[in-house]
């Protein structure tokens, strides 16, 4: 079965919302500059009066046997790289030879083995897995040797919800616990440049959430690369009594020495590396014991092919792998072939999934706190034409 065409589709549509979808931004590394500190750039689209306007891209890989693999959504820059650089490597190739195709794409990216170039490889890899599953009429997790688990405990990832109104935070935490989510992750709003008052507000967020959900419930907190060692040490000393499950991405991933210092100086477990790429990037973290939990994003770090290798290496270090929640379908299939002790949760970005899955026929949802691994062939993704307001084949 040969690849006959690599097609990039741009889809536009509107997600109905009551008010702004994104209530609040999270702290960001660029917040060290005051002109960025209060900018609330929308993730994945723009807010309009009748809803959230989405313009995004999907990649389709077609074959001479009529089978088509699908992956996405992906940003425009990634679609461009697939069309202008990877397409010529793929057309005419054996669609089943995934290891060869991954290696060729990786070797061809001599100036871009991270960032958008790796996002492009990741999307192609996931589309190829979808294609193979459809060709064999099997869900992808079956091709990978699963299942080890068919229902994955979900934690609610609260990106985009307000963290400044603590009464709303308290009520929302109770609401999502009642919905069955096994844990919740909230995002700090303040970093070092917000001073003592910002630090106090971060601590109050943690305290409020612990009071809302009670003692026997996991809470995690995301720093999104925006802090430094001294700040995290002080923050950890003030919140450790509230028993966070982990602190996530405390510093930027290139600062491996900073993670080592944090491991020595705080008792709260550390997670991170969603913005790291490939097995070689994760090897750096694992070899020095920098993290308790690694969080590769399947749509970013190299696709399913590479994430499986990263996770296998992590198990040799007895480190937990809980992928970043950008790609729920691929993540569900990945989780279905991992030991439950090494992948005990799947992240579910509540607001982001509403955007990310808007154009899909049967979005992956959380029911009673669990994600049911799809049984349909491939990754189980299908475009819902009724959601499309405008579309075009781009970069042809």
Catalytic residue among 324, 326, 333, 358: 324
Q: With 0-12 CB in 10 A as exposed, 13-18 as middle and 19+ as buried, what is 55? A: middle
SS3 134: helix
Residue 300 gets which letter from DSSP? T
Q: 123-151 as b/e, with b when 16 or more CB fall inside 10 Å?
A: bbbbbbbbbbbbbeeebbbbbbebbebbb
Residue 375 gets which letter from DSSP? -
Write phi, then psi, for 196 (nearest 5 degrees).
-65, -35
Residue whose entry in the numeric block shows the structure tokens 């060692």? 229
Write phi, then psi, for 306 (nearest 5 degrees).
-80, -35
Q: Which residues contact 386 (CB under 8 A, 6 or more apart)?
A: none
Per DSSP, helices labelled H in the chain are 76-81, 87-90, 98-108, 115-136, 140-143, 166-178, 195-213, 229-239, 256-265, 278-287, 303-316, 328-335, 350-356
- Whether residue 349 contacts residue 326, with contact meaning beta carbons closer than 8 Å, is answered with yes
For the question of residue 324 being annotated catalytic, the response is yes
Question: Given phi > 0 = left and psi -120 to 50 = alpha, else beta, which region is 299?
Answer: alpha
Q: What would the DSSP string read from start to end of 44-93?
A: SSEEETTEEEEEEEEEEEEETTS-EEEEEEE-HHHHHHIIIIIHHHHTTS
Distance CA 180, CA 213 (A): 12
Distance CA 251, CA 256 (A): 9
Q: Tell me the catalytic residues.
A: 324
């Amino acid at each position: 079965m040969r690849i006959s065409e690599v097609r990039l589709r741009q889809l536009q549509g509107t997600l109905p919302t009551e008010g702004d979808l994104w209530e609040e931004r999270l702290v960001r590394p660029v917040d060290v500059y005051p002109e960025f500190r209060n900018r609330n750039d929308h993730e994945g689209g723009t807010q309009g009066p009748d809803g959230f306007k989405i313009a995004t891209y999907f990649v389709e890989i077609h074959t001479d046997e009529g089978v088509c693999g699908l992956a996405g959504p992906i940003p425009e820059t990634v679609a461009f790289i697939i069309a202008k650089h990877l397409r010529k490597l793929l057309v005419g190739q054996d669609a089943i030879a995934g290891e060869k195709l991954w290696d060729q794409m990786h070797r061809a990216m001599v100036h871009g083995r991270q960032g958008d170039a790796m996002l492009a490889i990741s999307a192609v890899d996931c589309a190829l897995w979808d294609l193979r599953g459809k060709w064999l009429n099997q869900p992808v997790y079956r091709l990978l040797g699963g299942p080890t688990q068919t229902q994955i405990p979900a934690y609610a990832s609260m990106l985009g919800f307000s963290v400044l109104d603590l009464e709303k935070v308290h009520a929302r935490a109770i609401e999502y616990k009642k919905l069955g989510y096994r844990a919740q992750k909230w995002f700090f709003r303040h970093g070092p440049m917000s001073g003592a008052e910002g630090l106090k507000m971060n601590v109050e967020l943690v305290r409020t959430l612990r009071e809302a959900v009670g003692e026997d419930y996991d809470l995690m907190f995301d720093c999104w690369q925006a802090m430094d060692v001294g700040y995290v040490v002080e923050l950890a000393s003030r919140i450790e009594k509230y028993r966070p499950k982990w602190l996530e991405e405390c510093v930027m991933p290139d600062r491996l020495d900073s993670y080592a210092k944090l491991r020595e100086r705080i008792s709260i477990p550390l997670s991170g590396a969603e913005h790291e790429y490939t097995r070689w990037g994760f090897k750096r973290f694992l070899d020095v014991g920098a993290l308790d939990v690694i969080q590769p994003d399947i749509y970013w770090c190299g696709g399913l092919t590479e994430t499986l290798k990263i996770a296998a290496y992590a198990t040799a270090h007895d480190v937990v792998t809980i992928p970043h929640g950008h790609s729920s379908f691929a993540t569900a299939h990945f989780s279905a072939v991992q030991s439950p002790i090494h992948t005990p949760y799947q992240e579910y970005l509540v607001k982001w999934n509403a955007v990310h899955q808007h154009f899909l026929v049967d979005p992956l949802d959380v029911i009673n706190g669990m994600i049911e691994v799809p049984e349909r062939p491939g990754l189980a993704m299908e475009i819902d034409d009724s959601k499309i307001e405008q579309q075009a084949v781009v970069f042809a």
